[in-house]
Amino acid sequence: DSCWCEGHSTPVLCVGASGGPEGLLASGSEEGEVTVWNQEGTVLASLRLPSGDDVTSAVFSPAAPGLLYVSHGETVSVLDPRSLKGAVEELQGVGEEEINSLALNETGSALAVADDSGVVRVLGLPGGQVNRTLRRHTNIVSSVAFRPLRPNNLVSAGLDMQVMLWSLQKTRPVWTLNLQEVAEEEEAHQHKAGQLFNPPLAHCVSVASCGNVLACAAEDGRVHLMRVGSGSKLDRQGAIKAHSQGASQAHFLSFLPHPYWLATGGNDGMVALWDLSQNPVVTVEDKGKPQAAPVHRRRPNARAKAKLQAQSPGTEEALKSGPKLSFSHGDKVNWVCPTLLRGEPSLVVADQSRNLSVYSLAGL
């Protein structure tokens, strides 16, 4: 791995990649620092925001390479990464309390803002007018993500251990998954009562580029997986035990041959890359549309049942398949940003330090 040093004087909290032709990256750190990097890891520009508040999220507009959105305190600043001279625009007070996460939809026409008060606000762009205020979380909302291919669908996750899917047409969620209930059911099922698990506080949510598979990193060390079916219903859910301590980061990679590669990071100092293409939560899709069943269908016989089971491996089996790559980073992970650097799949990692570490995935 290589170190991108000299970019910050305070611990780095977030990293974003533009994916545009210039392939810029941006990182935000404590006390209001924003730094823009090129693909070689050279600092192009640095800025200290006047507020001096920690920079908690940095996202590039997919529609306009000249727009970088950063959150600090209750404010979102719009910057031009190509000439970092101070804010092009300030969206002040869009968070009721400190903002934790920003997300842009694919068209760059909506910005979701998640904050400590448990509120998610959706702003129309340009202009930053509040179009929706979504109040259902009962604790800090740590992470938001739009669904690719569904610019009006949004996922949020929080320290209330809930993951919610929203349609921007409504102010109540399409569905809510309570990770604590899931964890309790699983423990009961495995007869492991009495073992203390960290509660599954949700830290980071990501949606695969197909738009239908969600991953949520949680404090129980698991990454919880959800599949969205037709009508945006929650079709299936499961989990992988990804880290021996809390999982802080989970991000799908959009630039590999299939969309089910997932990068994770945790408080155990590990960074890992998972191939979820064979995970039972994902494989549902490949079975195609169910045939219209004849009315006089008999119950499947034992042999047919066994065959069905053989085709869909149990969750246990899926849990056993470990990561395709893992890196012992050694320090608690604040952020993992998957990106192409000079055409090479890479992970840019921020920890408790002022430096970024870059891991190549060329080994795949």
Cα distance between residue 1 and residue 360, in whole Å = 7
Structure confidence at residue 363 as a pLDDT band (50, 70, 90): confident
Pairing of strands 141-147, 129-135: unpaired
Cα distance between residue 52 and residue 263, in whole Å = 31
Please answer whether residues 223 and 160 qualify as being in contact, where contact means their C-beta atoms are separated by less than 8 angstroms: no
Structure confidence at residue 316 as a pLDDT band (50, 70, 90): very low
What's residue 56's pLDDT? 98
pLDDT at 185 over 90: no
Percentage of the chain modeled with pLDDT above 70:
88
What's residue 22's pLDDT? 81
pLDDT at 294 over 80: no
Please answer whether residues 325 and 240 qualify as being in contact, where contact means their C-beta atoms are separated by less than 8 angstroms: no
pLDDT at 307 over 80: no
Please answer whether residues 142 and 126 qualify as being in contact, where contact means their C-beta atoms are separated by less than 8 angstroms: no
What's residue 188's pLDDT? 78
Residue with tokens 């293409």: 277
Each residue of 224-252: pLDDT tens digit?
999 999 999 999 999 999 999 999 999 99
Residue with tokens 């306009």: 64
pLDDT at 193 over 70: no
Instruction: From 181, 187, 129, select the one nearest 160 (Cα to Cα).
Output: 181
What's residue 167's pLDDT? 96
Helices (H), the chain: 179-189, 280-283, 302-311, 315-320
Each residue of 104-143: pLDDT tens digit?
999 999 999 999 999 999 999 999 999 999 999 999 999 9
Structure confidence at residue 289 as a pLDDT band (50, 70, 90): very low
What's residue 183's pLDDT? 84
Angle at 62 between CA 119 and CA 202, to 5 degrees: 35
* DSSP output for 194-239: T-------EEEEEE-TTSSEEEEEETTSEEEEEEE-GGG-EEEEEE
Q: How many CA atoms lie within 13 A of 206 on its CB side?
A: 24
* DSSP output for 57-82: EEEE-SS-TT-EEEEETTEEEEE-TT
Q: Please indicate whether residue 184 or residue 21 has the higher confidence score (pLDDT).
A: 184
Cα distance between residue 337 and residue 112, in whole Å = 19
Distances (CA, A) of 269 to 30, 59, 264, 329: 20, 24, 11, 5
Distances (CA, A) of 364 to 23, 273, 331: 22, 10, 24
Cα distance between residue 80 and residue 77, in whole Å = 10
**Average pLDDT score, the chain:** 89
Please answer whether residues 71 and 55 qualify as being in contact, where contact means their C-beta atoms are separated by less than 8 angstroms: yes
Residue 140: how many CB atoms within 10 A of its CB? 18
Average pLDDT (350-358) is 96
Structure confidence at residue 293 as a pLDDT band (50, 70, 90): very low
What's residue 306's pLDDT? 38
pLDDT at 312 over 80: no
Each residue of 12-33: pLDDT tens digit?
999 999 987 789 999 999 999 9
Residue with tokens 């990193």: 217
Cα distance between residue 327 and residue 109, in whole Å = 36
Structure confidence at residue 194 as a pLDDT band (50, 70, 90): low
Tell me: cis bond preceding 126? Omega within 30 of 0 counts: yes
Cα distance between residue 59 and residue 14, in whole Å = 9
Structure confidence at residue 295 as a pLDDT band (50, 70, 90): very low
Residue 108 DSSP code: S
198-213 in b/e burial notation, b at 16+ Cβ within 10 A?
eebbbbbbbbbbbbbb
Average pLDDT (258-267) is 97
Each residue of 59-103: pLDDT tens digit?
999 988 789 999 999 999 999 999 998 889 999 989 999 999 999
Structure confidence at residue 290 as a pLDDT band (50, 70, 90): very low
Cα distance between residue 254 and residue 273, in whole Å = 13
